[in-house]
Amino acid sequence: MDTSDSLEPEALNDFSNQLMRTMINNLGPGERPTLINQSGMNALFTVQELIRDLKECIQIMEEIGSQPEANIPALLTSVERRVEADIKDAQCITQREAYDKLQEFNSLAVEAGESMAQLQLRYPDTSPIRIDNGRLV
Protein backbone atom coordinates (compact mmCIF):
# COMPACT_ATOMS: atom_id res chain seq x y z
CA MET A 1 0.00 0.00 0.00
CA ASP A 2 1.35 3.41 -0.92
CA THR A 3 0.78 5.58 2.17
CA SER A 4 1.67 8.77 0.33
CA ASP A 5 -1.69 8.67 -1.47
CA SER A 6 -3.71 8.38 1.74
CA LEU A 7 -1.91 11.01 3.84
CA GLU A 8 -2.03 14.76 3.65
CA PRO A 9 1.38 16.26 2.74
CA GLU A 10 1.85 17.69 6.24
CA ALA A 11 0.97 14.37 7.89
CA LEU A 12 3.33 12.51 5.58
CA ASN A 13 6.10 14.99 6.37
CA ASP A 14 5.46 14.65 10.13
CA PHE A 15 5.49 10.88 9.80
CA SER A 16 8.75 10.91 7.83
CA ASN A 17 10.42 13.23 10.33
CA GLN A 18 9.29 11.09 13.25
CA LEU A 19 10.57 8.01 11.49
CA MET A 20 14.00 9.56 11.00
CA ARG A 21 14.18 10.80 14.62
CA THR A 22 13.19 7.38 15.89
CA MET A 23 15.88 5.65 13.88
CA ILE A 24 18.50 7.99 15.32
CA ASN A 25 17.19 8.03 18.91
CA ASN A 26 17.06 4.24 19.20
CA LEU A 27 20.78 3.83 18.59
CA GLY A 28 22.80 2.49 21.46
CA PRO A 29 26.43 3.43 22.15
CA GLY A 30 28.58 2.45 19.18
CA GLU A 31 25.64 1.28 17.07
CA ARG A 32 25.28 2.23 13.45
CA PRO A 33 22.01 3.50 12.02
CA THR A 34 19.94 0.76 10.46
CA LEU A 35 16.77 0.84 8.47
CA ILE A 36 13.56 0.55 10.43
CA ASN A 37 11.71 -2.67 9.86
CA GLN A 38 8.19 -2.86 8.45
CA SER A 39 6.54 -3.59 11.81
CA GLY A 40 8.19 -0.54 13.36
CA MET A 41 7.05 1.62 10.47
CA ASN A 42 3.53 0.24 10.73
CA ALA A 43 3.52 0.94 14.48
CA LEU A 44 4.60 4.54 13.91
CA PHE A 45 1.93 5.02 11.26
CA THR A 46 -0.74 3.49 13.52
CA VAL A 47 0.18 5.69 16.48
CA GLN A 48 0.14 8.74 14.22
CA GLU A 49 -3.40 7.84 13.12
CA LEU A 50 -4.48 7.27 16.74
CA ILE A 51 -3.07 10.67 17.71
CA ARG A 52 -4.95 12.29 14.86
CA ASP A 53 -8.19 10.65 16.00
CA LEU A 54 -7.65 11.69 19.63
CA LYS A 55 -7.03 15.28 18.55
CA GLU A 56 -10.26 15.15 16.58
CA CYS A 57 -12.13 13.85 19.65
CA ILE A 58 -10.65 16.61 21.80
CA GLN A 59 -11.72 19.16 19.19
CA ILE A 60 -15.28 17.78 19.24
CA MET A 61 -15.35 18.05 23.03
CA GLU A 62 -14.08 21.64 22.91
CA GLU A 63 -16.89 22.59 20.54
CA ILE A 64 -19.62 20.59 22.24
CA GLY A 65 -21.27 23.65 23.79
CA SER A 66 -22.39 24.79 20.33
CA GLN A 67 -24.45 21.61 19.87
CA PRO A 68 -28.14 21.34 20.78
CA GLU A 69 -28.33 20.11 24.37
CA ALA A 70 -30.45 17.11 23.36
CA ASN A 71 -27.61 15.82 21.14
CA ILE A 72 -24.79 16.23 23.65
CA PRO A 73 -25.17 12.93 25.60
CA ALA A 74 -25.15 10.86 22.39
CA LEU A 75 -22.18 12.85 21.08
CA LEU A 76 -20.28 12.32 24.34
CA THR A 77 -21.02 8.60 24.24
CA SER A 78 -19.71 8.42 20.67
CA VAL A 79 -16.53 10.32 21.56
CA GLU A 80 -16.01 8.20 24.67
CA ARG A 81 -16.20 5.00 22.61
CA ARG A 82 -13.71 6.37 20.08
CA VAL A 83 -11.26 7.33 22.83
CA GLU A 84 -11.61 3.91 24.47
CA ALA A 85 -11.00 2.16 21.14
CA ASP A 86 -7.94 4.32 20.47
CA ILE A 87 -6.50 3.52 23.89
CA LYS A 88 -7.13 -0.18 23.39
CA ASP A 89 -5.42 -0.07 19.98
CA ALA A 90 -2.44 1.85 21.40
CA GLN A 91 -1.96 -0.74 24.15
CA CYS A 92 -1.26 -3.36 21.47
CA ILE A 93 1.72 -1.44 20.08
CA THR A 94 4.98 -2.72 21.51
CA GLN A 95 7.60 -1.71 18.93
CA ARG A 96 10.27 0.52 20.41
CA GLU A 97 10.30 2.67 17.29
CA ALA A 98 6.90 4.03 18.33
CA TYR A 99 7.87 4.85 21.92
CA ASP A 100 8.11 8.64 21.51
CA LYS A 101 4.82 8.87 19.66
CA LEU A 102 3.16 6.62 22.25
CA GLN A 103 4.22 9.09 24.93
CA GLU A 104 2.51 11.87 22.97
CA PHE A 105 -0.55 9.65 22.55
CA ASN A 106 -0.67 8.94 26.29
CA SER A 107 -0.59 12.65 27.10
CA LEU A 108 -3.46 13.28 24.71
CA ALA A 109 -5.40 10.33 26.14
CA VAL A 110 -5.11 11.81 29.65
CA GLU A 111 -6.26 15.19 28.33
CA ALA A 112 -9.21 13.55 26.54
CA GLY A 113 -10.17 11.62 29.67
CA GLU A 114 -10.13 14.74 31.83
CA SER A 115 -12.21 16.67 29.29
CA MET A 116 -14.66 13.79 29.06
CA ALA A 117 -15.07 13.63 32.85
CA GLN A 118 -15.73 17.38 33.07
CA LEU A 119 -18.24 17.29 30.23
CA GLN A 120 -20.06 14.30 31.71
CA LEU A 121 -20.49 16.23 34.96
CA ARG A 122 -21.75 19.29 33.10
CA TYR A 123 -24.01 17.32 30.72
CA PRO A 124 -25.16 14.16 32.54
CA ASP A 125 -26.69 11.43 30.42
CA THR A 126 -30.32 10.99 31.49
CA SER A 127 -31.12 8.32 28.91
CA PRO A 128 -31.95 4.77 30.01
CA ILE A 129 -28.97 2.70 31.12
CA ARG A 130 -27.48 0.46 28.44
CA ILE A 131 -25.99 -2.85 29.44
CA ASP A 132 -23.12 -4.10 27.34
CA ASN A 133 -22.93 -7.85 27.87
CA GLY A 134 -19.86 -7.98 25.62
CA ARG A 135 -17.77 -6.66 28.50
CA LEU A 136 -18.74 -9.60 30.71
CA VAL A 137 -16.72 -12.05 28.66
What's the rounded Cα separation, in Å, for the pair 33 and 125?
Answer: 53
Contact 23, 36 (CB under 8 A): yes
**Tens digits of residue pLDDT in 9-41:** 777 677 777 766 665 555 566 665 556 678 888
Does residue 134 lie in a domain region? no
Indicate whether this model's pTM tops 0.85: no
If one counts the domains in the chain, the total is 1
Output the pLDDT for position 19. Answer: 66
AA letter at 46:
T
What's the rounded Cα separation, in Å, for the pair 61 and 72?
Answer: 10
Does residue 63 lie in a domain region? yes
Domain encompassing residue 95: 6-125
Does residue 17 lie in a domain region? yes
Instruction: Spell out the residues 6+ positions from residue 76 whose beta carbon is closer than 8 angstroms to its own.
Output: 61, 64, 116, 119, 120, 123, 125
Mean pLDDT over residues 75-104, rounded? 93
Does residue 32 lie in a domain region? yes
- Give yes or no for residue 67 having a pLDDT over 70: yes
Does residue 132 lie in a domain region? no
Does residue 136 lie in a domain region? no
